Amino acid sequence: MLTFKKVSMHFCSSLLISTLSVACGPKVEETKEILSGSKPADSQGKNADIQLTFAAGSTATALKLAAGMDLGSGVILSDARINIGKIKIKPTVELEESEIEQKKEIAALKEEKEEQLKKQEETWEESKKSIEKKYEELLDSAAKESEKRTLESAAKSEKAVIEASIAAAKKSAEDELESIAAEKDADLKWKGSYVYDLIANAVSPEVPTVSLLDGTYKRIEFELKPNRVLDSSDPLLNNSVYIAGSITLNSVAVPFTFSMKLSEEFKLKGNQGTSVKPDIVNALVISFQLSNWFNGINFSSAALNSDGTIVIDDATNASIFAMIKAKMKSSAKYGEDEDGDGKLEDAESDGDSEDDDKDGAGIEDKQEGVDKE
């Protein structure tokens, strides 16, 4: 049976800080109308509270280091962060017809926004090319190294302004879509974004406690989405996942990076469901099972870039990228942290990723909430 950890409201802050390493966030009052399909069949119509936290999974094979985490098999991570967007909790295991229609509507709006952004980006790309051409000509005529450095710095600054405009436009479009989705979906409880550091087991900003109707809930959905607000020097900016570390190949530690720019939807579900009680804080843990992400991945065939780094994304070393992403998605779990150690062991797991096509790889790519056939 699915179970949320039950914690009395009076002891919420002190207990969750010590056992889950995440303090209770501010309380969010829910004023949204309860739509059809959002109310559990066994609800008494009373308010119940849920405090959500994240965990890096059962790290029995992982070892915390001063500068990161050793996952075993020669993989050492120095950075592992994900950007978590909207999170919803549902009383039904499967999608209802109203949800499907709602997702299609949002997908159509997203397609329209993306087409508008594409036209803007084409204009911005032309501007970047013009800047590059202008400074190439100036650099060719520059006589002194100091002049060249000044010109290179100026070119970089001008292109950075354009990149910032692109990021701002994307964020504005995403915010508009999320606002529309929030108005339409009473089950959207956490809007994000939350940056979760899987090595430090820390999340920013705090995840708020939210209210919902009491009763049995059977499904949790969330997405990883590109971060649009971090500093321009942060590698997680414009990515939903960023990982850096090293892999030992032929007794040599080779640096690698993994980045994912696209949004990815997760569905975690359990058939029995859990009874969420009023008058207490029901604490839920979503675990990402970091130690499983690189199991069985063969890096020996990976291409290295000019500085000897293995870059892994959807365009470079794409087959390795696809395998890591599939493991990342299929290994996500949720449940009760029964022993209070801040991790989710296999025996504590109450729900895991949906595998729509029964291929053992968890959920595959999504079109902004609409499953691919």
pLDDT of 255 reads 97
Task: Encode pLDDT of 4-33 as tens digits.
Answer: 343 333 223 222 222 233 334 444 444 334
What mean pLDDT comes out for the span 110-119?
A: 80
Domain limits, the chain: 5-94+188-368
pLDDT at 352: 67
List, in order, residues 6 or more apart from 109 with CB less than 8 Å away: 177, 180
What is the pTM (predicted TM-score) of this model? 0.69
Stronger pLDDT, 161 or 253, i.e. the higher one: 253
Which residue do the tokens 């009023």 mark?
A: 278
Q: Mean pLDDT throughout 107-136?
A: 82
**What residue spans of the chain are helical by DSSP H?**
12-20, 97-141, 145-184, 318-330
pLDDT at 281: 85
Q: Which residue bears the tokens 């339409």?
A: 184
Give residue 205's pLDDT. 93
Taking all residues of the chain, what is their mean pLDDT, rounded to a whole number? Answer: 77
- The DSSP code sequence of 1-31 is ---PEEE-GGGHHHHHHHHHS----PEEPP-
Whole-angstrom Cα distance, residue 36 to residue 135?
59
